[in-house]
Chains A and B, each alone.
Chain A
Amino acid sequence: MLLRHTPKEVIAREGLTINPAKTCQPIGAMYAALGIHGCLPHSHGSQGCCSYHRSTLTRHYKEPVMAATSSFTEGASVFGGQANLLQSIETIFAVYEPDIIAVHSTCLSETIGDDLQQITKKAKDDGKIPEGKYVIYASTPSFVGSHVTGYANMVTGIAEQFAQSTGEKKDQINIIAGWMEPSDMREIKKISKELGVKIVLFPDTSDVLDAPQTGKHEFYPKGGTTIEELKSIGDSSSSLALGCISAEPAAIALDKKCKVPFETVDMPIGLSATDRFIMSLSKAAGVQVPDEITAERGRLVDVMTDMEQYFYGRKVALFGDPDQLIPLTEFLLDLNMKPIHIVSGTPGQRFEKRMKEILRRIPEANFRNGLNADMFLLHQWMKNEPVDLLIGNTYGKYIARDENVPFIRFGFPILDRIGHSYFPNIGYSGSLRLVEKILGALMDRQDREALEEKFELVM
């Protein structure tokens, strides 16, 4: 057994987190900043954090992930990191020539009390930021929130620091992407195009973290929301935030700064959440939903009806991030499955509230988020009440193997498979892919374990 020391009996823990279902804020900030064209993320702290974040993102995407660090040593930790950041800004503009440096803080610089706003202002006053270039920032100490809130903080920083209102409204809608994959962002753009809605999507990591092999390394790949687009978001007619934890804060900030009304919807994962997304976007833009989208929806529902017997009552355990888990759980219910164990390390009451609503039909379901809501607990729950399927990031494979449970990789990070960056999990077609995966996992097991006389040809 890989996790041989995990006991069935659950004892409450207060000090020790074991096998976390979250990581720290800066990696989210780094990911968000990669979704801006010509932007170099910068980690203000010691080298280790930056190295870890780059490594994890690289393992997840199998793509170059460029980011710089303030390389704190003990001196900086005692006297403050201003000198390090100023030198970083100078070096980066000289050597790596980005249009934007997106600085995020780390535990260390936050504990010291470095003020990123003040330091970037000083950089500007000292003439260290070349004409037409930008340094933006977000505060992301990881003793608060999780990687998801770190993402939200950087997206908020991007919105606040770029948006301008010229007083003249533009016929466009902002779509603020919650933490989703490049493939998902590409899908959002595709759906909007089909709907005939002009959007500004930010951040947008498509064509950044799924760049083609060309024999040339593009330090700043083709993709990413442009500065031009970002400046214009203050003039957009409205914003649609995809995800209440990872996207809504930016929508609120934009509304405050430029009076852009917004609506928050769930990430369009699964049938119902995609329905709401399509409704909201078409309403906001005043467009009719084209037949092609209705047909795409119909194909998803068709599979759900055709294969309904395989879903019914199947118990599922899942872990990951709130903005994904909320619509995913709802989708599992739409499929007539039974999500019974759910954890997310990301804190916040919204999760609990939404889960309570969604899971009304399953009173025995366990769900927990925030401190000590970790994979160790999830595994213990699974030992007490076994499931038919586990859904979560790569770390779930240890539980899946020990408990002999079919496992679907979903979320962040996925370190041992490809696909997530290329094939979406959102929208009707992304949901159809999820359904295919769920069926595949369940049926492969049935095929593998069925008695010889019960082995089915047609399923």
Chain B
Amino acid sequence: MEAMNHYPDPSKIREELVQKYPAKVAKKRTKSIIINDPESIPEVQANVRTVPGIITQRGCSYAGCKGVVLGPTRDIVNIVHGPIGCSFYAWLTRRNQTRPETPEHENYITYCFSTDMQEENVVFGGEKKLKQAIQEAYDLFHPKAIAIFSTCPVGLIGDDVHAASKEMREKFGDCNVFGFSCEGYRGVSQSAGHHIANNGVFKHMVGRNNTPSEGKFKLNMLGEYNIGGDAFEIERIFEKAGITLVASFSGNSTVGQLENAHMADLNVIMCHRSINYMGEMMETKYGIPWMKVNFVGAESTAKSLRKIAEYFDDAELKARVEEVIAEEMPKVKAVIDDIRPRTEGKTAMLFVGGSRAHHYQDLFTELGMTTVAAGYEFAHRDDYEGRHVLPSIKVDADSKNIEELKIVADPELYQPRKSEAELEALKEKGLEINGYEGMMKQMMKKSLVVDDVSHYESEKLIEIYKPDIFCAGIKEKYVVQKMGVPLKQLHSYDYGGPYTGFVGATNFYRDIDRMVNNPVWKLIKAPWETAGNPKGAELEATYVTQ
């Protein structure tokens, strides 16, 4: 498909986007602004430093580690070691919902814990205060686990959060205490924090409980954080289809689930960017293959379910999955048939996250809308171009300092769930086993791909393309709306959702229909602005006498 003939030549657009930058900046940005060709995918510069001074969407490694990956597990006490702000801002703002088993079960997600580091801790070291804080958390709550997150100053002053955690863990005996060196300056974005989190969760949690879980078709869901209840909808569908969810990394999860995750027979990955490390490490150590899926979009959900059934290669499961799809799809169809005439032909832009800018294109396709430009906030080249480029990605100074765990097969627990030949056969059938094709393959020829889009570039893109909807985050929301274009937040969903699965798809269709067709966008101008100012015009007699 090659559309968008009515838009200016994309290479001209690219020139315009970088025109105002100082020469060196322009040169750098040009490599991250790419005209797509799904047949022969060009290279996108990604996961590189943002130019200082550029207004970026990106956050920090701590946000990726604590906020994204560890935040959703409800029964860990997450203590942020550092000054107060870092912990305060990550307090409940990500909307990762959770549903404790009973009103008595543990849930610390509503709490914010910090060592509230003071100047003397920066000068003389903060380990003592940290240990005191861990002790107090233990005394107050007796949680199963306490995780410690280092923020920027901590790394610089040399506090050893790992040693402190170990000391306290050994002291308590019944509480797993572990630390993360996820200082905000590591790496170039949240992405570094995802990797650090994966390492820590793998080292300190996965594999601690070898009790085999019940169920015939057991899998873990990786990279699904239950924003707006997304995981609840997927759980509902799994249950209906007879698929057992052993652990979720990490939406609506518990410590117990994560510790037992290695008892599953498959890892399905939603957000490749934030969690692929976990998939790989579990494959190497335990022999569990991972497979890329996508539960965003009704068609994609059906496709992903079929892939899972294909993986387990069980006639009964396959039949059950078909039944579920047959039961759910008519409800979806009824909604989309009503809505699509109003959304057909409209355009969208998505600049967000590390997987959502890809996944949500499926929903827009279902709505008959075209994605004219898209990009990630903190993804790597493989998320754009596909995992086959991995060997050619150069590791730069910013990525080098993130630990790569050396994983070997577990002498007792390693047990390949599928033979090499079986895996090959599955791949032949189109299953993305241990693989991911990336976003660009799915996007149209000549659409624009922009990594780490800057504020300046997004305003320009809106001016040029005048999209019907723009998808990004809270920082962009009101800027774009001030330009008269609705913005759908794809981090927080504008406090709506879920958007996954069948129910989620219909939620999304309705929300987008509402947003792009909301009459308020036509009310922006006052009547005297459009019709000319009445001041000075002759008064006309409009009354009627009887």
Q: Which A residues contact B (CB, under 8 angstroms)?
A: 1-5, 7, 11, 13-20, 22-27, 42, 45-49, 51-56, 58-59, 62-77, 84-85, 87-92, 94-96, 106-108, 110-112, 141-144, 146-147, 211, 213-218, 345, 371-372, 376, 395, 398, 415
Contacts and interface: CB of A to CB of B under 8 A. Distances in A.
A54 B93 CA distance: 13
A75 B396 CA distance: 12
B488 to A, nearest CB: 15
7 contacts: A3-B111, A20-B114, A51-B58, A54-B475, A91-B22, A95-B21, A111-B122
B20 A94 contact: yes
B528 interface: no
Given A52-B85, A59-B93, A142-B84, 20 more contacts: A4-B107, A5-B107, A5-B108, A14-B132, A17-B114, A18-B113, A19-B91, A22-B88, A47-B58, A53-B89, A58-B478, A63-B478, A64-B478, A68-B53, A69-B56, A91-B54, A107-B85, A141-B83, A146-B84, A147-B85
A91 B21 contact: yes
B186 interface: yes
Contacts of B16: none
Contacts of B155: 77
A147 B88 CA distance: 11
Interface centre among A64, A65, A345 (most CB of B within 10 A): A64
Contacts of B56: 47, 51, 69, 71
A46 B113 contact: no
Nearest to A6: B111
A250 B413 CA distance: 65
B518 interface: no
A15 B115 contact: yes
Contacts of A92: 53
A48 B134 CA distance: 25
Given A142-B83, A143-B119, A146-B84, A5 B50 contact: no
Contact of B115 (A16, A19, A42): A16
B435 interface: no
Contacts of B122: 107, 111, 141, 143
Interface of B: 20-22, 25, 49-63, 79, 82-93, 103-104, 106-108, 110-119, 121-122, 129-137, 139-141, 151-153, 155-157, 183-189, 397-398, 401, 455-456, 459, 473-475, 477-484, 524-525
Contacts of A144: 118-119
Contacts of A19: 91, 111-112
Contact of B119 (A5, A22, A141): A141
Given A214-B482, A215-B525, A73 B185 contact: yes
A88 B52 contact: yes
Contacts of A96: 55, 456
Nearest to A88: B53
A7 B187 CA distance: 40
Given A17-B114, A51-B60, A23 B55 contact: no
Nearest to B477: A58
Contacts of B153: 107-108, 110-111, 143
Contacts of A218: 482
A58 B55 contact: no
Contacts of A142: 83-85
Contacts of A23: 84-85, 88-89
B185 A108 contact: yes
Nearest to B120: A143
Contacts of B131: 15
Contacts of A56: 89, 93
Contacts, number: 272
B111 A215 contact: no
B482 A211 contact: yes
A284 to B, nearest CB: 37
Given A87-B52, A96-B456, A112 B184 contact: no
B125 to A, nearest CB: 12
Contact of B152 (A13, A46, A62): A46
Contact of B135 (A15, A77, A112): A15
Interface centre among A73, A75, A84, A213 (most CB of B within 10 A): A73
B464 to A, nearest CB: 15
Contacts of A395: 91-92
A91 B53 CA distance: 6
A415 B92 CA distance: 11
A17 B59 contact: no
Contacts of B478: 58, 62-64
B519 to A, nearest CB: 14
Nearest to B397: A75
B181 to A, nearest CB: 11
Given A73-B49, A95-B53, A108-B184, A16 B86 contact: no
Closest 5 CB pairs of A and B: A48-B60, A24-B85, A15-B132, A91-B53, A88-B53
A52 to B, nearest CB: 4
A376 B140 CA distance: 12
Nearest to B129: A15
A459 B141 CA distance: 45
A16 B52 contact: no
Given A48-B184, A55-B93, A18 B112 contact: yes
A70 B52 contact: yes
B490 to A, nearest CB: 14
A55 B477 CA distance: 10
Contacts of A87: 51-53
A91 B79 CA distance: 37
Contacts of A215: 482-484, 524-525
B479 A48 contact: no
Nearest to A72: B185
B189 to A, nearest CB: 7
Contacts of B481: 213
B89 A52 contact: yes
Contact of B53 (A90, A345, A371): A90
B152 A5 contact: no
Contact of B474 (A1, A58, A72, A88): A58
A104 to B, nearest CB: 12
Contact of B63 (A14, A48, A58, A77): A48
A64 B141 CA distance: 40
B85 A5 contact: no
A214 to B, nearest CB: 7
Interface centre among A7, A46, A87 (most CB of B within 10 A): A46
A17 B84 contact: yes
Nearest to B107: A4
A17 B89 CA distance: 14
A68 B103 contact: no
B456 A49 contact: no
Contacts of A146: 84
Contacts of A17: 84, 87, 113-116
Contacts of B152: 45-46, 48-49, 72, 77, 106-108, 111
Contacts of B79: 16
B111 A68 contact: no
B482 A64 contact: yes
Given A55-B475, A64-B479, A74-B398, A13 B59 contact: no
Contacts of B185: 46, 72-74, 76-77, 108
Contacts of A143: 83, 117-119, 121-122, 153
Contact of A66 (B21, B58, B108, B455): B455
Contacts of A141: 83, 119, 122
Contacts of A84: 52
B103 A1 contact: yes
B524 A213 contact: yes
A94 B152 CA distance: 29
A66 to B, nearest CB: 7
